[in-house]
Amino acid sequence: MRKRICSLCVLVFAGAATAAGFAQSAERFIFDQKPGAYAVGLKVVDQYDYSRTWGPAVDDLGKPVSGERARPLQTLIWYPAEKTAGKPMTVGDYFALLETETSFDKPHLPIYWQDWKTGLAPAMQDALWAVRDAPAVAGHYPVVIYAPSFGSMAWENADLCEFLASNGYVVLATGALGAESRDMTNDLAGIDAQARDISFLVGYGRGLANTDMSEVAVAGFSWGGIANLFAAARDTRIDALVALDGSMRYYPGLVKDAGDVHPNLETIPLLFFTEGEFTIEDIDKYLNGPANRGPDPLNEWTHGDLTTVHMMAMIHTEFSSIYQRNENVWKNFAESRKADYPREDGIPGYGWMARYTLAYLDAYLKHDSGAMAWLKKTPAENGAPQHFIYTSFRAASGVPASLEGFKTELGRRGFDQIQEVYAAFHKENPDFKLQEDQVNLWGYTLLGDGHLPEAIAVLKLNTTLYPDSGNTYDSLGDAYAKAGSKDLAMENYRKAVATHYPQAEQSQKKLDELEKAPAAK
C-alpha cells in the first residue's frame, strides 16, 4: 500500500517497525501552549488556480476526464475571531477535509490516506481551537502562508496555525500537491509547483478583508521549507521565512540547479529550526545524491538576518503536530530518536518551536522590540529546559551583489560614486557583472523620468563595462544630447560610429544633425 509522508521522513525513518510497543505506551500529543488574545476561526475555500492545468486528460479506463481541469487548491484560512459557542474543530474534522481536498463536489477518501486514518484513530476526537466560520475580529493582521511537507495536507500543523491566529495573524495553507497530480515529486518540478501555490495564496490574501499584505511570511515544514525559499526568491511580496527543519538544508543541489534561487542574494530574515544532532554519517547514509550536493543555503544566508534554533530533543517528524498524533509514525521512533530523549519530549519541544516562531514573527512582521529582545536571549534565559535547545543569531551584513543591491548602494552613496561602488561589488564577488541591455534600459528609464545626472552616470558606466559596444556610446550620446551637452554628445556618437556596430548609421545621422545645429547662444 502506498503511503504519504514527507520525503526526508522517508529517507531518515524508513525501516522495520521496531518500537511499536513503545509507541503505544508513550504519552499522546497535546499542544501545551495557551492561546493568545483572540479566539480562532477557520474558513475552508474550495478554489482553482485557472492559470495551470492539473491531472491527466484521460482516466484509468482511458476515457476523457470531464469537469474542471484547473489546479485545485483547497485553502484553509485561520484568523482572529470573536468568541462563540461553536464547536471547535477536532482532528477528525480536519481529517474529513481530505475527502474533498481535490474533488470539491465529490467527497472521496483516496486509498493512500487509509493508513493515516488508522494511525490517527486514537486522536480523532481531540479538540483543537478553531471554530468553523466564526465571525472575524475587525482589523488587519499580518499574513503567514503555511507550506506543508512532501505531499502532505494543509492542516498537518493545525496547532501551530491556530496558535498564530490566536496571536493576531491570518494563516493560509493548501495541500502540497505535485505539479501534475496529487503525488508530489522529489524534483524541481515539485518544488516549483508548491512555490507557485505559495504565491497564489499571497495573491489571494490580498482580497481578504482582514489581512495586512504589507507584512507576509511563509512558514514551511520539511519540503515546504525548500518551496518557501523558491517562492521568496521569485516573489518580493514575501518579507520573512520560517523553516521547520526545512529541506533547503538537505537538498542544496536542487537549490543550485534551480538557476534563479540564490540564498546569497536574499535580504529577508530567516528563522531555521533543526532537528537534534544530524551527523556526517547520517548525511552520507541518507542524503547521498546529486540533489543533496551544493552550497549550504544557511552558510550563504549572509545578507538577511539568520536565526537558527537547534531542537536537540526533536526528530524530524515531531515538527508536525499531526505527525506527532499519528501512532503509525512512532513505529520507527527507537531507531531515529535523538540521544536518550523520549517521545514525550516532542510535546514541549513542539511548544517551544511555536513560541520561537511567534516571537520571530512578532519581531519581524509586527516590529515588536520586546519580541526581538526575547529572540536574542539564551534559551535558558527564556525558561527552556537545559540541554533542550540552543540558538544562534547572525545579523545581516553588506549588500548582495545583485542589480537590486547595486541600486540600493547607489541610492545610499550617490550616483557620483557609481564607478567606486561597482569596483567594490566586483571585488567582493568577481562573478558580479551587470548585463549591457539591463544597464542600458535602466539608463533610459532614468532619462525618461527626468533624472539626467543619474542617467548619464549609469550609461557612462555601461561604456566602461562594454567599451567595444557602439550601442553604449550611442545611448550615452542620447543622454548628453538631452542634457544639452552638445560636445559630449557628439564625442560619444563618433565613438559609436567608429565601432561599426549594426546601428552605426543611426548614430551618424544624430551626429550630422548636431553638427548642423546652430551653436547655443
Instruction: Indicate the residue type of 196.
Output: R
For position 26, what pLDDT does the model report? 56
What mean pLDDT is reported for the chain? 91
Nearest to 276 by CA among 238, 314, 317: 314
pLDDT per position as a tens digit, 440-454: 999 999 999 999 999
- The residue with cell 505506551 is 25
CB-based contact 221:320 (threshold 8 Å) = yes
Percent of the chain with pLDDT over 70: 93
Q: Where do you find CATH 3.40.50.1820 in the chain?
A: 7-59+72-394
Q: What pLDDT band is residue 284 in, cutting at 50, 70 and 90?
A: low
How is residue 63 written as a grid cell?
Answer: 476515457
For residue 283, is pLDDT > 80?
no
CA separation for the pair 224, 248 (Å, rounded): 9
For position 353, what pLDDT does the model report? 98
For position 9, what pLDDT does the model report? 46
For residue 25, is pLDDT > 50?
no
* For residues 370-390, average pLDDT: 94
Where does residue 355 rank: exposed (0-12), middle (13-18), buried (19+ CB within 10 A)? Answer: middle
CA separation for the pair 108, 151 (Å, rounded): 17
For 7-59+72-394, the fitting CATH number among 3.40.50.1220, 3.40.50.1820, 3.40.50.300, 3.20.20.70 is: 3.40.50.1820
Q: Higher model confidence: residue 411 or residue 401?
A: 411
Q: What pLDDT band is residue 279 in, cutting at 50, 70 and 90?
A: low
CA separation for the pair 225, 52 (Å, rounded): 23
* For residues 310-338, average pLDDT: 91
Phi-psi region of 123 (alpha: psi -120 to 50; beta: other; left: phi over 0): alpha
CA separation for the pair 115, 158 (Å, rounded): 19
For position 291, what pLDDT does the model report? 77
Q: Which fold has domain 434-516?
A: 1.25.40
Q: What pLDDT band is residue 22 in, cutting at 50, 70 and 90?
A: very low
For position 521, what pLDDT does the model report? 53
For residue 57, is pLDDT > 90?
no
Nearest to 44 by CA among 124, 98, 122, 121: 98
Q: What pLDDT band is residue 324 in, cutting at 50, 70 and 90?
A: very high
Q: What pLDDT band is residue 414 in, cutting at 50, 70 and 90?
A: very high
Q: What pLDDT band is residue 15 in, cutting at 50, 70 and 90?
A: very low
pLDDT per position as a tens digit, 450-475: 999 999 999 999 999 999 999 999 99
CB-based contact 88:70 (threshold 8 Å) = no
Helices 369-376 and 346-364 meet at what angle, rounded to 10?
140
Least-confidence region, from 165-174, 181-190, 330-339, 498-507:
330-339
Task: Tell me the whole-structure pTM to 2 decimals.
Answer: 0.86
Nearest to 312 by CA among 403, 390, 229, 398: 390
Q: What pLDDT band is residue 281 in, cutting at 50, 70 and 90?
A: low
* For residues 421-432, average pLDDT: 88
Side-chain-facing half-sphere of 187: CA atoms under 13 Å: 6
Sheet (strand 141-147) strand order? 88-90, 127-132, 39-53, 70-81, 170-174, 141-147, 211-221, 240-244, 270-274, 306-311, 389-394
* For residues 57-74, average pLDDT: 89
For residue 3, is pLDDT > 80?
no
Rg (CA), the chain: 28
Q: Where do you find CATH 1.25.40.10 in the chain?
A: 434-516
pLDDT per position as a tens digit, 230-263: 999 999 999 999 999 999 999 999 999 999 999 9
